[in-house]
Amino acid sequence: MLGFPLDDVLAQRLPPAHDGLHVNYRYLLSWSKAVAARRPGARILDFGCGPGTLVEAARGLGLDCSGADAFYEGEQDLPLVRKSGLFGTAIRKIEDGRVPFDDGSFDLIVSNQVLEHVDRLDETLAELSRLIRRDGLLLFLFPTREVLREAHCGVPFLHWLERTPSRIGYAARWHRLGIGFDKERKPREEWAREAVAWMDRFVFYRTWRDVRVLFGRRFDHVAIERHYLAYRLLQRRRGRSLAPLLRIPWLASAGRAVCRRFNGAIVLARKR
């Protein structure tokens, strides 16, 4: 797909030490290994690398992986990156929308749950187009507005509601039912208030249609949720015999819809 054999990714095996990583990280690591196997010396960028989890794991596998992040106020990752000793070298800070690497530096750019935090997405995609080599690939995992559950606090449909104070009570009611992420750490009303304020300030949901328009200005791109689901099935011993079912068209369509609604979009792109 887009000139790269997706089966190469499914064939990758990661060391047992990586079993504890979130499946998204393992998926991106497998992509990184597959690209590096076909392009010895391939350079990889984790765009929006956060605490540098993927960068450290990839470098531990002998891959040439760097990271970049804006380290915005809504996260507390910069102290962790400084502690790792990678800040300023392998991991660099994005300033005024510019990623401090040279043009055409990377063979693969990956991004995990980042694009929904980007306000000016068209400008960001232009910057990524600058960084990727002519024949390089970009892989993005991110929620669109169509997801049923707000991706950061875990409250269903919260991001669909108009920006009114009533959303705080709405979120608190779901908290009362035991629904939401990290809800045990703070009193219900405080948790709901902070969840709504954080979402309003740091998340910019777009529809899948709008995302496709922005991607289409610079990249050939394709949604590969079926491939992502096949990877997840192959990661589980009991799922090994189920992955081939995704070759059935209606099951593949159903799987793609479920992935979009609960995980988000998985987009593979190449610069035109």
Residue 220: its pLDDT value, please?
97
Which pTM was predicted? 0.93
DSSP the chain: -TTS-HHHHHT----GGGTTS-HHHHHHHHHHHHHHHHSTT-EEEEET-TTTHHHHHHHHTT-EEEEEE---TT---HHHHHHHT-BTTTEEE-BTTB-SS-TT-EEEEEEES-GGG-SSHHHHHHHHHHHEEEEEEEEEEE--TT-SB-TTT--BTGGGS-SSTHHHHHHHHHHHTT-STTGGGS-HHHHHHHHHHHHHHH-----HHHHHHHHHTTEEEEE-HHHHHHHHHHTSGGGTTTGGGGGSHHHHHHHHHHHHHHT-EEEEEEE-
Q: What percent of the chain has pLDDT over 90?
A: 82
Residue-wise pLDDT for 61-74, tens only, equals 999 999 999 998 87
Domains of the chain: 6-144+206-271 (3.40.50.150), 158-202 (no CATH)
